[in-house]
């Protein structure tokens, strides 16, 4: 995947570029807004990661310009500015996601992957399947190995999100933002409690667990390879 | 019942006091002038009468009673204004231009005022006179006086009209006072209304100025200068907050990422691996504390006012409660939410959710298994009350104010996880929303109440940002 990184802090840029390359992406980088804009408009990228505060052309204006040129590649904002109203400004300016520094790299990778999936949606699915776990989005029912699982509405949404991102790490923050639509710090890890309840419903009594905890990152649903 | 607003205004009270002083002084000056004039006029009358008497006395000495009588007859025939009457000891008139001896209170030689009857044409009219009476040798009585009817009428007119004129003056002044107050109030109202709007968040607004440059304009000008300073300070604070966020969080970010990078190359089961993992966790806690501090600073600076919208607290309560329900369930705590209708308040969704989450998190953390946590939403006369009550150990009354300060953790909770900023953030969020945070006793347990002011129609329209727009679609 070709990713454009526009970040002015050299260390943060180096770290970002190296991490993304390690994860198998092709990366171009720019240290200021004007160079970033030139690159974004002259080459084809699958995704851009843009720092919110840049010398020269500011991050928000940069994305506005990119959008004005009819370019719709996904843009992820990185920002050290706090959340309260900056997130809204970022998304209004045309960003697709907003990640506050400091972030865990796993979080960034998980979000990049989620953005890419959104860009290339598979044919509209009414059924999701991971191993012998099936989710019917029309009847809102779940089955494992043929027997029905009773899920609360929120548990259904949680499982749906995990299954849409099957084989991919999903962070606690992503779950809180997507399933609960919250952008705040829930103090205690309440998400863990919700996951363990879901796990009890879908994995209990089965030999091969589907819902896995990824150390230092989050969760992943995946059938044994 | 309260007095009408106009009577309670400063301008009106100043006018009223001024008017009272003015009326009293005016009455005093007019009264003194009146008294002084009356005295002078009396003295003049007395002098004329005295010189008359002096002449008569001379006549009497030289020509005796007969001479006196002739003189009186002569003089009576000329003067209309001077009154003479000679009577015997029984007050029977002998000669003079008075018909009968008047009823006098004073019998000595002093001046007295009395009424007498005078024939004018066919009618008799009662008139006022002022004079002296003497007892002559032989028991004869002599009265010499001057008619002061005109002056007396003027005096009477004066004393009867004075109270009415003062009253009229007061009324006119009152009317003027009301006019002045209303004009004054209208301008003060503009200043007050604009100040309230500015306090509600729009610091870039300024008070309107008139061209006159009067005292109210000076006040508005000074307030505007103060606002400019405040705005500059706020901007400075925001810049500082932003640069702290940028300059300190970036190295923290790098530190965390480096540690994480090292961790990936190590065996997490080994002792150094476990140490590095603990260091990553420690960094995360540091970042958490840092974020909480920044959030408090932002809430206190009122920055988030821009992101306020009219929201139903009911939905926020239900959402946060749903998020925490499994946590309560695990501790076998009953999470009780009494049903209630909607409660619309102007708020920042993210911050109020965070505040409620902090309260609920504390409540669940400190309530022993088998306990009960209640989240209620009530309409009270003071506004909308959002209350989280638990059955834990509570907070001693003397510590309740202290726990709202930053980093304060009570001895009892020192060993449980937390930053010591949870309640400070709730307090900051409360201040941002003009809400009152009250920590009370739930007997047993803590009862934390956030009292939001009811939404008024005067609240300026706030752009609607729906939760959906803010959310990251996936």
Please list, residue by residue across A25-63, b when 16 or more beta carbons sit within 10 angstroms of its beta carbon and e when fewer do: bebbbbbbbeebbebbeeeebbbbbbbbbbeebbbbebb
The angle subtended at Cα B328 by Cα B293 and Cα B399, nearest 5°, is 50
Nearest beta carbon to residue A85 from set B280, B306, B326: B306
Q: Which residues contact B453 (CB under 8 A, 6 or more apart)?
A: B345, B382, B383, B433, B434, B435
pLDDT bin (cut points 50, 70, 90) of residue B155 is: confident
Average pLDDT over residues A187-213: 89
Give the model confidence (pLDDT) of B3-48 as tens digits: 677 677 777 788 888 888 888 888 888 889 888 988 898 898 889 8
CA distance linking residue B8 with residue A94, whole number of Å? 55
Q: Tell me the C-alpha distance between A44 and A2, whole Å.
A: 8
The whole-number average pLDDT for the span A148-154 is 91
Please determine, for residue A187, whether its predicted confidence score (pLDDT) is greater than 80. no
- pLDDT for B164 equals 86
Q: Do residues A190 and B327 make contact, with C-beta atoms less than 8 angstroms apart?
A: yes
Residue B124 clears pLDDT 60, i.e. is over it: yes
| Rounded CA separation B348/A184 (Å) | 12
Interface residue A214 vs chain B (CB under 8 A): no
Span A156-177, average pLDDT: 89
| pLDDT value of residue A121 | 61
Name every chain A residue with its beta carbon within 8 A of the beta carbon of B242: 81
The first and second tokens of residue B419, run together, are 């930053």
Query: Do A85 and B304 make contact, defined as CB atoms within 8 angstroms?
Result: yes
B469 vs A contacts (CB less than 8 Å): 88, 91
Residues from chain B that touch A197, judged by Cβ atoms under 8 A, are: 326
* Among chain B residues, CA nearest to A79: B246
Separation of alpha carbons B82 and B47, rounded Å = 12
Please name which of B299, B247, B204 lies closest in space to residue A83, comparing C-alpha atoms.
Answer: B299
Q: How many CB atoms lie within 10 A of CB B325?
A: 21
A92 or A76: which leads in pLDDT: A76
Mean pLDDT over A98-126 rounds to: 79
Chain B residues lying within 8 Å of A154, measured CB to CB: 322
Classified as helix, coil or strand, A151 is coil
Contact: B350, A84; criterion CB under 8 Å: yes
What is the 3-state composition of chain A as percent helix, strand, coil, each rounded to the nearest 5? Answer: 40, 20, 40
A178 lies within 8 A of chain B by CB? yes
Rounded CA separation A70/B231 (Å): 38
Q: Does A164 touch chain B (CB under 8 A)?
A: yes
Region B108-136: what's the mean pLDDT? 80
Binary contact (A97, B472; C-beta < 8 A): yes
Neighbours of B176 (CB within 10 A): 12
Mean pLDDT of A88-106: 82
Q: pLDDT digits over B42-77, tens only?
A: 898 889 888 888 888 888 888 888 888 888 888 877
Mean confidence (pLDDT) of chain B: 81
Tell me, yes or no, if A11 comes closer than 8 A to chain B by beta carbon: yes
Among A96-110, A150-164, B144-158, B304-318, the range of highest mean pLDDT:
A150-164
Residue B96 has pLDDT above 80, yes or no: yes
CB B77 within 8 A of CB B69: no
Lowest mean per-residue pLDDT among A114-128, B336-350, B389-403: A114-128
pLDDT given for residue A142 in this prediction: 92
- Residues 6 or more apart from B176 whose CB is under 8 A from it? B15
Look at residue B365 and tell me whether its pLDDT is greater than 80: yes
Average pLDDT, chain A: 86
pLDDT for residue A221: 92
Chain B interface disruption, residue of A184, A197, A217, most B CBs within 10 A: A184
Query: Residue B449 pLDDT > 80, yes or no?
Result: yes
Identify the helix (H) or strand (E) that includes residue B324. helix B313-330
Q: Answer yes or no: is pLDDT of B315 > 60.
A: yes
Of A96, A102, A194, the CB nearest to B253: A102
- Token pair, residue B18, equals 């001024």
Question: In the predicted model, is pLDDT for residue A116 greater than 60?
Answer: yes
pLDDT of residue B100: 80
What pLDDT was estimated at residue B245? 67
CB A79 within 8 A of CB A86: yes
Could you report the per-residue pLDDT of A54-82, keeping only the tens digit for each? 888 888 899 998 998 888 899 999 887 66
To the nearest whole percent, how much of chain B has pLDDT over 90? 12
Residue A186: list chain B partners with CB under 8 A. 323, 357, 361
Among candidates B253, B350, B417 on the partner chain, residue whose Cβ is nearest the Cβ of A183: B350
Instruction: For residue B455, give Cα distances in angstroms to A159, B195, B307, B343.
Output: 39, 18, 16, 9
DSSP symbols for A78-96: EESS-HHHHHHHHHHTT-S
The reported pLDDT for the residue numbered B473 is 36
Residue B18 three-state SS = helix
Which of A104-108, B77-81, B95-99 bottoms out in mean pLDDT, i.e. has the lowest?
A: B77-81
Helices then strands, counting H and E runs in chain A, come out as 8, 12
Percentage of residues in chain A having pLDDT higher than 90: 26
Q: Tell me which of A1-5, A45-49, B9-13, B280-284 is least confident.
A: B9-13
If we measure between CA atoms, which residue out of B141, B147, B53 comes closest to residue B92?
Answer: B141
pLDDT at position A83? 61
pLDDT band per the 50, 70, 90 thresholds, residue B336 = very high
- Tell me what the mean pLDDT of segment B325-341 comes to: 91
Q: What is the pLDDT of residue B79?
A: 65
Write the residue in A87, A101, A190 that is nearest to B249 by C-beta. Answer: A101
Residue B467's pLDDT is: 36
A contacts of B323 (beta carbons < 8 Å): 180, 182, 186, 190, 194
For residue A31, report the phi and psi dihedrals to the nearest 5 degrees. Answer: -105, -5
- Tell me the HSE value of B45 on the side-chain side, using a 13 A CA sphere: 26
| pLDDT reported for residue B418 | 63
Yes or no: say if B465 and B348 are a contact pair by the CB < 8 Å rule.
Answer: no
Lowest mean pLDDT: which of B242-246, B283-287, B294-298?
A: B242-246
Lowest mean per-residue pLDDT among A71-75, A184-188, B32-36, B353-357: A184-188
| Secondary structure of residue B452 in the 3-state scheme | strand
Tokens found for residue B34: 């009146």
Does residue B464 have a pLDDT over 70?
A: no
Q: What is the per-residue pLDDT across B215-245, written as a single tens digit (0 to 9) for each?
A: 888 888 888 898 888 888 877 877 777 677 6
For residues B84 and B97, give the distance between their C-alpha atoms in angstroms, rounded to a whole number: 6
What number of CA atoms fall less than 13 Å from residue B466's CA on the CB side? 2
DSSP code per residue over B373-403: EEEEEEEETTEEEEEEEE-S----GGGTTGG
pLDDT of residue B305: 62
Mean pLDDT value across residues B261-270: 78
């Amino acid at each position: 995947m070709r990713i454009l990184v526009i970040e002015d802090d050299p260390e943060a840029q180096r770290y970002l570029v190296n991490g993304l390359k390690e994860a198998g992406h092709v990366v171009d980088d720019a240290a200021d807004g004007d160079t970033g804009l030139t690159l974004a408009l002259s080459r084809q990228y699958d995704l851009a990661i843009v720092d919110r505060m840049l010398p020269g052309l500011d991050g928000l204006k940069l994305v506005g310009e990119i959008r004005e040129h009819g370019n719709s590649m996904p843009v992820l904002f990185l920002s050290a500015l706090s959340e309260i109203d900056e997130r809204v400004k970022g998304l209004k300016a045309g960003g697709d996601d907003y990640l506050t520094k400091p972030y865990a790299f796993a979080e960034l990778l998980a979000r990049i992957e989620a953005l890419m999936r959104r860009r290339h949606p598979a044919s509209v699915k009414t059924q999701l399947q991971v191993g012998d776990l099936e989710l019917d989005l029309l009847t809102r029912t779940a089955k494992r190995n043929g027997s029905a699982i009773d899920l609360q509405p929120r548990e259904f949404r949680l499982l749906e999100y995990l299954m849409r991102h099957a084989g991919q790490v999903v962070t606690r923050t992503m779950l809180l933002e997507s399933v609960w639509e919250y952008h705040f710090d829930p103090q205690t890890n309440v998400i863990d409690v919700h996951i363990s309840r879901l796990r009890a419903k879908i994995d209990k009594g089965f030999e091969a667990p589907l819902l896995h905890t990824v150390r230092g990152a989050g969760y992943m649903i995946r059938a044994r390879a | 019942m309260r007095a009408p607003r106009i009577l309670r205004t400063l301008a009106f009270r100043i006018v009223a006091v001024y008017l009272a002083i003015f009326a009293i002084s005016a009455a005093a000056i007019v009264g003194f002038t009146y008294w002084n004039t009356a005295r002078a006029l009396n003295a003049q009358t007395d002098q004329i009468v005295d010189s008359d008497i002096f002449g008569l006395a001379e006549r009497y000495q030289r020509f005796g009673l007969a001479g006196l009588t002739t003189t009186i007859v002569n003089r009576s025939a000329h003067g209309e204004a001077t009154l003479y009457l000679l009577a015997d000891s029984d007050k029977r008139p002998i000669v003079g231009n008075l018909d009968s001896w008047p009823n006098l209170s004073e019998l000595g030689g002093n001046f007295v005022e009395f009424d007498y009857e005078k024939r004018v044409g066919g009618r008799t009219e009662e008139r006022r006179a002022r004079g002296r009476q003497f007892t002559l040798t032989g028991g004869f009585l002599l009265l010499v006086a001057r008619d002061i009817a005109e002056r007396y009428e003027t005096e009477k007119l004066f004393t009867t009209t004075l109270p009415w004129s003062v009253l009229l003056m007061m009324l006119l002044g009152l009317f003027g006072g009301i006019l002045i107050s209303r004009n004054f109030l209208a301008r003060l109202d503009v200043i007050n209304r604009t100040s309230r709007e500015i306090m509600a968040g729009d610091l870039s607004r300024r008070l309107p100025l008139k061209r006159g440059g009067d005292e109210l304009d000076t006040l508005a000008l000074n307030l505007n200068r103060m606002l400019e300073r405040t705005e500059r300070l706020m901007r400075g604070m925001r810049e500082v907050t932003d640069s702290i966020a940028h300059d300190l969080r970036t190295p923290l970010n790098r530190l965390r990422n480096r540690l994480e990078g090292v961790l990936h190359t190590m065996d997490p089961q080994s002792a150094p691996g476990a140490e590095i993992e603990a260091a990553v966790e420690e960094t995360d806690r540091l970042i958490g504390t840092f974020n909480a501090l920044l959030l408090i600073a932002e809430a206190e600076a009122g920055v988030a006012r821009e992101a306020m919208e009219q929201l139903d607290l009911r939905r926020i309560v239900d959402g946060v409660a749903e998020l925490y329900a499994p946590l309560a369930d695990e501790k076998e705590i009953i999470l009780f939410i009494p049903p209630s209708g909607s409660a619309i308040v102007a708020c920042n969704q993210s911050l109020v959710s965070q505040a409620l989450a902090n309260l609920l998190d504390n409540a669940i953390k400190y309530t022993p298994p088998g306990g009960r946590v209640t989240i209620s939403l009530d309409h009270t006369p003071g506004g909308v009350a959002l209350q989280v009550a638990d059955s834990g150990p509570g907070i001693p009354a003397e510590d309740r104010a202290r726990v709202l300060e930053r980093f304060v953790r009570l001895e009892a909770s020192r060993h449980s996880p937390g930053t010591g900023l949870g309640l400070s953030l709730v307090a900051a969020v409360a201040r941002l929303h003009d809400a009152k945070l009250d920590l009370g006793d739930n007997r047993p347990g803590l009862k934390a109440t956030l009292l939001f002011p009811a939404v008024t129609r005067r609240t300026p329209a706030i752009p609607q940002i729906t939760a959906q727009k803010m959310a990251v679609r996936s």
